[in-house]
Structure 1
Amino acid sequence: MTTDIESKKEKPNKTPKQKALSIIKTVLLYGLVFMVIYTAINWWRQPVTPANPQLQLTDYQGQTVDLAALSQDKPTLVYFWGTWCPVCRVTSPTINTLAAENNYPIVTIAIKSGSDQELDSYLNEHNYNFTTINDQEGLIFDDWQGQVTPSYVILKDGEMTQGLTGIQPKWSLKLRLWLSSVF
């Protein structure tokens, strides 16, 4: 006859090293699952090149912007955003910094962000100096089948090489632009 104490199998205590390895494995597994899900959602939500994309646009100040010509020498980042978008308030300063570095052409498209005067006021208030197209009705964004803001498109030779959404750190955007220039 066995007692309750004897019937319970005692598990050996894990050493601190085994506990640490277990925690690291768990974090890596959850990180991998997160990255797979994030990548799938990003791929699903990314803008799509229209059949006949309008690449000659006019910025809110009346200047012609030719995305095909800009993307001939270097990849061009097209950033879809809105003055009303809370996430864009986080990403737009990064885009402004990237544009100021002048390593790659940056063109932004402000979606449903008011009149040209309202957009100008917003850009001045936030000290944004990037080239901006005012997509007052959201037609350009709709043409690219945009689903969320912020969204990004990288063009090379007038063709979309990458599309992405959400918060993107500066290093990620620079890496993607560089990769588009190499491949």
Structure 2
Amino acid sequence: MKAVTDADFETAVLKSDKPVLVDFWAEWCGPCRMIAPVLEEISKEHGDKLEIVKLNTDENVGTAGKYGIMQIPNLLVFKDGEVVKQILGAKPKAALLRDLQEFIA
């Protein structure tokens, strides 16, 4: 999974030609570390339909602030430059796949 920053967020996420799930996370966040391998698996299995990227909220406060990220992990799915889905908190893989079904089917 690729890391994005304030500097390349627009190009990597908002201008992407396919849906992009952005994992807003931080180094100190335990649930963020728990969900990371699950997102990695989903990325490998469904990367052709849904791109998954990570954005460190401590290092990229501009983007995190713009999207009102108050708690993490916070997953936002962007399509055509707009937020189309929000998933809060760490979830098991099966639950995440259900939440993302419309983007990976």
Question: Which range, TM-score by smaller chain?
Answer: 0.7 to 0.9
Is 2:14 aligned against 1:68? yes
2:55 match: 109
Superposed CA RMSD in Å reads: 2.4
- Cα distance, 1:162 vs. partner? 0.8
TM-score, with length taken from structure 1: 0.46
Residues of 1 paired with 2:8 and 2:28: CA distance?
21
* Greater strand proportion: 2
The ranges of structure 1 where at least 4 consecutive aligned residues each deviate by more than 3 angstroms after the TM superposition are none
SS of the residue aligned with 2:91?
coil
1:142 match: 65
- Number of residues paired by the alignment? 98
1:78 match: 22
Counterpart of 2:19, as a letter, is: P
2:85 match: 162
Residues of 1 paired with 2:27 and 2:89: CA distance?
15
SS of the residue aligned with 2:65?
helix
Counterpart of 1:158, as a letter, is: G
Residues of 2 paired with 1:65 and 1:143: CA distance?
16
Residues of 1 paired with 2:20 and 2:103: CA distance?
9
2:95 match: 172
Counterpart of 2:13, as a letter, is: L
Counterpart of 1:68, as a letter, is: L
* Greater helix proportion: 1
Q: Which runs of 5+ in 2 are unaligned?
A: 1-5
- Once the two structures are superposed, residues 51-85 of structure 1 have per-residue CA deviations (whole angstroms, 9 ceiling, x without a partner) of xxxxx8428xxxx8431332x3x321111001111
1:58 match: 8
Residues of 2 paired with 1:154 and 1:81: CA distance?
14
Structure number with bigger Rg: 1
TM-score, with length taken from structure 2: 0.75
- Cα distance, 1:90 vs. partner? 0.7
The higher relative CO (CA closer than 8 Å, separation ≥ 6) is in: 2
The correspondence for 2:32, drawn from 55, 66, 88, is: 88
Identity within the alignment, % = 24
